Amino acid sequence: MLTVYGLKSCDACRRARKALGDREHRFHDLREDGLDGAMLDRWIGALGWEALLNRRSTTWRALDEAERAGLDAGRARGLMLAHPTLVKRPVIDDGGTVRVGL
């Protein structure tokens, strides 16, 4: 089954869900339902951490400069697990292919 990961309040997520029309899907709210390490590792493996980290988000801008500086895969993964709203949205997973953004 197709799963859309994002935030209920995110305009891009709303557009993605609307574009799916009548296609059956499940919505997973990253803020309410959380983000687990195995799921994030699968996405990073498929897309790379750079594609997943939303550097335009309010959450990113609120981080200390020290937290944002010198990122590598491990630190980016840790930040996304600590702050799921740092994940670029929507992430669309159909069980075989993972896509991010519209």
Q: Annotated active-site positions, please?
A: 10
Nearest to 87 by CA among 37, 61, 52: 52
Burial of residue 102, with CB atoms counted within 10 A of its CB: 0-12 exposed, 13-18 middle, 19 or more buried: exposed
Cis previous bond, 90, omega within 30: yes
Strand order in the sheet with 91-93: 25-29, 2-6, 91-93, 98-100
